[in-house]
Amino acid sequence: MRQRSILARIAPPLVAFLTAVAAAPANAADPPQKKTVHVRPEDMAAAEAAVKKAAEGRKLLKEKKVREGLQMIDEALGEIERTTGPDSDYSTSNRAILLDLYKALGETAKLEAVEARAAAARRKWTPPPERAADPSLNKAMPKLAAALEATKRGDFTGAASLLEQALPDVEKSDVSPKNYLLVTGVLASLYDHSQQFSKGESLRRDVIAKMERSLGESADVADQYEFLATHYIMRAEVVKALATQRRCVEITRKTSPASGMLVDRLLALSGLLTGSGDLAAGEATLREAMGIVKGLRPVDPLRMVRVANELARVLDGQFRNAEGDAVAEAACSIAVSANQPAVTEEAEPACIRTALAKKDTKLAGEIAARRFARTEKQYGTSPGLLASAAHELAQVRWAEGRKDEATALAKKAADAQERYLDRILSVSGDAQKRAHLRLVASQAYDLLSMGGNGEGGGRAQVRLALETILRRKGRSLDASADAARVARLFDQPADKALAARQLELRRQIAALGLRGAGGVPGVDPASLLAKLEAEHDEIGNKLVAASPLYGAQSKPVTIEAVQAAIPDDSALVEYVYYHARDTSSPVFATKEVRFVAFVLHKTGEPVAVDLGDALPIGRAVSKLRWALADHGDVLPHAKQVHDLVIAPIAKHLRSSDARLIVSPDDDLNLVPFATLVDERGQFLVQSREITYVTSGRDLIRIAAASAQKRANTQAMVFGDPAFDGAAGAADPSAKASAGDLDNAKFPALPGTAAEAKAIADLLAAANVTRADATKARLAGVSSPVVLHVATHGFFLKREREQGPSNTRSLEYDPGDPVAVPPSRSANPLVRSGLALAGANQRSNAEGLLTALEASSMNLEGTRLVVLSACETGVGETEVGEGVYGLRRALVVAGSESQLMSLWKVDDEATRDLMIAFYRDLKAGTGRAAALRKVQLAMLGKKETQHPYFWAAFIPSGEWSPMSFDLQAPIVARDAPPARDRSSSSQYEPPYPAFVSSALLGMHYMAITNLRDQPDRAAGLVSLQLEYALLSNLFEGGRGFGLHDELLLSLFAGLRTSDGTKYASGTDEGSLAGGFRSGYELALGYRGSSFQLFAGGQATYNTFVLGDARTYGVTLPAIALLGIRTGSSSFIGLRGQYGKWFIDQETAGAALSLDLDGFVLRAGLEELKMPVTVSLDGDEARASARRQVSTLASFSLGGTF
């Protein structure tokens, strides 16, 4: 979405107000005036309009449109002289321009007319009376002027404070209500740009409501809606921004139809539409804008090019690249014809694209180089603009085959983007962080496609891609954790003040640096940003001296820094999900989504291995997770995932790699790599220790934290909460967090009582159980050395499912007639959490601790958090950002390492696992190694050898041994034990029972009750095709939906009944066959364990058995039931009966067994359709009307 620079949006309304009330210049683009200009109140609007028109004329003169500019100034000057006086600075400055140019052009008549009009104005002019002094306004004016200066400096917080102080006096003064509201709107903008969003939204909405009541649907109201839309964009609230911008456009269509303003606002609306995924609506909006801009007079080539650029981008997003090329070429042609510098600059991306499409890489390179040089000179301190121009030039150099130069430029772009992220993420909310990271993700995808994935690139390309991934992956999580950590690291007032000032500087730098700071007189964006950056860095150096841990999180991430933190006997495996680009395309169009894996050791160069299409990996992960959670046949699915994500990198792993440090992405975040089965049929846990990090960058933080000496409090164990007890007073603010669980029932967990006691005794920990295990008690812990919580966990998906009674998962009260609605919150941190004392008390949020609330806990320095509950490690996965749930919350809260589960866990098995884990941990075994030791022991026992029992828990973060001394630093990392040689989405989708299939069948068919004719019978073979049309769109999702299939069957065989001899000497024939085609449609429910549908079927049938023919259309009702029997197997039952509208009817049933795509089916069907038989062996036939045809079937085949 194109936006004016921040200062250009905020300062002019404030300047205009000062002009209206205190005789300051009326236009922010004009130089300061020498004399006060008094205007009668009734002439103010006309004066402002005339001054604005003259300014537009001067702008045309600068663009070398002399005739058009002179005409506009000449037309405006008469009104300026009438309203401000013939000798005001506004009149004299504009008149001087006219006189000089008319004289230079030799247009004496026009020169004399200007002079005569001025003389006439002097004769008529009567100065207006000077305004009486207004005490309230005089009191406010110094603060208003100071607020303007603070705004120019980028000190938005200070400017907001000054305006807050001035507004009460402005309200008491005699200024018009409209002007007062305009200045109030300026304050709302200052709130936004100083990150005081709640204040900004509330104030802006109040301004809009008051202005709409007094002014109706006016241009000023449309302006306020545009500001509010910008507010929502800054907060990454796209839905609200879209609705607000639509309202803005609606009003502008009425107040300024067919105007440049409407074009600008349509452009902004299209950006929001395309950003929310509605590319078709975005295209329609742009085509409306293009229709308007083509009709503007004078012609506006700048806006025309802007619209064309956006239209080409939207067409690319719909994979209509050829149309996008044509639009870009048209934009380039417009710029060439206009021959205006501003238009030429705007069209440069289109001209680069056009040149590349025509294979003119030389011209594309010249334009891109010129664009980059200009951007670097003008906006060298604005990292967003610099990164864009540098990356654009890198793409062109890559197309030219100049790979080394392209890589150097791409690195410059990546470094600039890193500065941008460092500033903007630290002052953004969580949704904003993710929005910013999605915007810059395209750059990383390009780098991976430009050789960084190991395909077609060299050492430099692989290193640049990996370094960028290490900096970006999990960046939102790190930014949140770093912000929370800064608040905990500094306890001295002076350090706290420095940290607060640095945060304020980051707000100013982020606000000013994203799009420059042009548009306001007296403001040099480069020098202002340089000054702010210098102060920011100076404060950073002081904070580093105060806290080495802060220094570690502030250092730039490099491959060398990560390698230094990798142990000698370990390998980092960094998985990345990315959009593969077609680098031969002018726009680097997306081809497909893929996975790449980087392997990095302490020494040596990184290796990139392209793993191929991401879709098969996602499917394999989904099947593996089903098998793991349901005690299914794990081995084939675990082997498949291993072959897809481990086997391709195996040759790059060293024999000394006893530990794999895995940084997964997308669906792989939910895979326990310990369960993957190698080529020898062994689980990966049997050969290597495995631990997890969000990004390889985490290793730098882990190494820095391990050297710090931190004071901890006593270990704490929470277990066996009294779910049915009281939880204390409910916090109304937390009600929304748990409202989705009002009807949930958490059953008692008797195993957790023994587990909690044993662990508390082992660790000399505080044991908090039953009624004491409350949310308030858990949320109030402060840096315990170990925090162990044995209770129910929950992650609310879009559909609810009930866990077995012996698992640590939630169930629902069957006696409650109120259905539990789907989760109402879009925030995954609200939909996951832990159940504590009082959790079964309805409408009592104090019994539930959500992940959002857990992220605010003080776990700084806590060495280990164990959540001995179900699904505490799951959540919503986001590409490049890991898992949004309890796992993320505990990292933000400051914990050093975590142990959590990926599926509903068995109560008794978990208790035994945890007790054994702590015994080994207490004996000095590393955190990941202790878990592996217990897993191997369970694997060796028949009753717990299935991975369901031992593989649910995964370790993340620090893996080394830990000291239980409350004052001691972390001990040195151990070597893992010697080897023992003896992931599709955040929810678990159903395995579809009724899908497209192809079958071969054997059938017995009989036609009976043929009056005086003998029965007919035949044996048939068939080819049956069943193809799902619309229901393919719903495959894999739970909930209400539809099932449909297109049906086609071909039959051939031999008659088996006795033949008939006719009088003519011929017999009835021995061949049999037929075909049937139809369509069925049913509505119903698709769940994880069963599927049920009901609907109708329309089929045309025809069969020939010797001389008997039966044919007709059947329209029966159908019912389908699918019952899941394993991770990828179903039993299907099908029934049909009756007739609709016609005389033919049918009844039948079929039983199907689907074993991971292999289908067996048996069925029996009766058809009552017309039958004809031969009379004498020739064409004369007799009708036997509706006789009974019976078809018995056995088929086998597969799904597709």
Buried b (16+ CB within 10 A) or exposed e, 278-312: ebebbbebbebbbebbeebeeebbbbbbbbbbbbb
In terms of domains, do 912 and 1010 share one? no
Q: Residue 1156's pLDDT is what?
A: 67
- Note whether residue 166 is domain-resident: no
> Which stretch, 441-450, 477-486, 943-952, has highest mean pLDDT?
943-952
| Phi-psi label, residue 1175: left if phi above 0, alpha if psi -120 to 50, beta otherwise | alpha
- Note whether residue 1065 is domain-resident: yes
Domain boundary residue, one of 898, 923, 948: 923
Q: What are phi and psi of 487, to 5 degrees?
A: -65, -25
Which pLDDT band, with edges at 50, 70 and 90, does 1090 fall under? confident
Question: Is 552 in contact with 564 (CB distance < 8 Å)?
Answer: no
Q: Residue 244's pLDDT is what?
A: 93
Which pLDDT band, with edges at 50, 70 and 90, does 988 fall under? very low
Question: Is 747 in contact with 860 (CB distance < 8 Å)?
Answer: no
- Note whether residue 363 is domain-resident: no
3-state secondary structure 272-299: HHHHCCCHHHHHHHHHHHHHHHHCCCCC
In terms of domains, do 918 and 1003 share one? no
- Note whether residue 103 is domain-resident: no
| pLDDT single digits (tens) 903-931 | 766 777 778 888 889 999 988 899 999 99
Q: Residue 149's pLDDT is what?
A: 81
Domain boundary residue, one of 877, 894, 923: 923
In terms of domains, do 865 and 1002 share one? no
- Note whether residue 1102 is domain-resident: yes
- Note whether residue 741 is domain-resident: yes
Buried b (16+ CB within 10 A) or exposed e, 62-87: ebebeeebbebbbebbbbbbbbbbbe
List the domain range (segments joined by +) for residue 883: 709-923
| pLDDT single digits (tens) 93-110 | 889 999 888 888 888 888
Q: Which residues contact 998 (CB under 8 A, 6 or more apart)?
A: 1023, 1024, 1025, 1026, 1197, 1198, 1200
Question: Is 662 in contact with 673 (CB distance < 8 Å)?
Answer: yes
Let me know the angle formed at the C-alpha of 735 by 731 and 738, rounded to the nearest 5 degrees. Answer: 125
Q: How far apart are CA 742 and CA 812, in angstroms?
A: 10
Q: Which residues contact 958 (CB under 8 A, 6 or more apart)?
A: 702, 705, 706, 863, 896, 897, 927, 970
Question: Is 847 in contact with 727 (CB distance < 8 Å)?
Answer: yes
Q: Residue 607's pLDDT is what?
A: 94
| pLDDT single digits (tens) 161-179 | 888 898 888 888 767 777 7
Domain boundary residue, one of 907, 923, 939: 923
- Note whether residue 867 is domain-resident: yes
Q: How far apart are CA 962 and CA 971, in angstroms?
A: 6
Q: What is the DSSP letter of 448?
A: I
User: 């100013």: which residue's tokens?
Assistant: 508
Question: What is the average per-residue pLDDT within 649-661?
Answer: 93
| pLDDT single digits (tens) 413-424 | 888 877 777 766
Measured from the Cβ of residue 1055, the count of other Cβ atoms closer than 10 Å reads 21
> Which stretch, 11-15, 189-193, 491-495, 558-562, has highest mean pLDDT?
558-562
Q: Residue 1157's pLDDT is what?
A: 73
In terms of domains, do 1010 and 1145 share one? yes
User: Which uninterrupted H or E stretch holds 338?
Assistant: helix 321-338
Q: Residue 107's pLDDT is what?
A: 87
In terms of domains, do 901 and 1017 share one? no
Query: Is it the case that residue 673 has pLDDT exceeding 70?
Result: yes
* First-to-last C-alpha distance (Å) of the chain: 43
Closest C-alpha among 743, 754, 745, 744 to residue 720: 754
Q: Residue 741's pLDDT is what?
A: 59
Q: What are phi and psi of 15, to 5 degrees?
A: -65, -40
Query: Is it the case that residue 880 has pLDDT exceeding 50?
Result: no
Q: How far apart are CA 417 and CA 388, in angstroms?
A: 8
- Note whether residue 650 is domain-resident: no
| pLDDT single digits (tens) 744-766 | 678 887 778 888 888 888 888 88
Closest C-alpha among 442, 700, 443 to residue 572: 700
In terms of domains, do 729 and 827 share one? yes
CA 466 to chain centre: 22
Query: Is it the case that residue 969 has pLDDT exceeding 50?
Result: no
In terms of domains, do 913 and 1005 share one? no
Query: What 3-state DSSP class applies to 839?
Result: coil
User: In Å, what is the CA distance from 963 to each residue of 483, 704, 712, 723, 858?
Assistant: 27, 16, 11, 33, 20
In terms of domains, do 1053 and 1140 share one? yes
Handedness of CA 717, 722, 728, 734 (dihedral sign): positive
Residues making up the chain, counted from first to last: 1200
Query: What 3-state DSSP class applies to 1198?
Result: strand
Closest C-alpha among 1106, 1105, 1118 to residue 1165: 1118
| pLDDT single digits (tens) 430-446 | 565 666 666 677 788 88
HSE of 473, CA atoms in CB hemisphere, 13 A? 30
The amino acid sitting at 455 is E
Query: Is it the case that residue 554 has pLDDT exceeding 70?
Result: no
Q: Residue 428's pLDDT is what?
A: 59
Q: How far apart are CA 915 and CA 374, in angstroms?
A: 65
> Which stretch, 250-254, 709-713, 1145-1149, has highest mean pLDDT?
250-254
Handedness of CA 1090, 1091, 1094, 1099 (dihedral sign): negative
Which pLDDT band, with edges at 50, 70 and 90, does 521 fall under? very low
Q: Residue 304's pLDDT is what?
A: 93
Beta bridge partners of 1102: 1075, 1111
Count of structural domains, the chain: 2
In terms of domains, do 1025 and 916 share one? no
Q: How far apart are CA 693 and CA 177, in angstroms?
A: 57
Question: What is the average per-residue pLDDT within 507-530?
Answer: 51
Q: Residue 682's pLDDT is what?
A: 92
Higher pLDDT, 801 or 625: 625
In terms of domains, do 919 and 1066 share one? no
Query: Is it the case that residue 1085 has pLDDT exceeding 50?
Result: yes
Percent of the chain with pLDDT over 90: 22
In terms of domains, do 895 and 1008 share one? no
Q: Residue 382's pLDDT is what?
A: 64
In terms of domains, do 1011 and 881 share one? no
| pLDDT single digits (tens) 275-313 | 777 889 999 999 999 999 998 888 889 999 999 999 998
Closest C-alpha among 618, 672, 665 to residue 985: 618
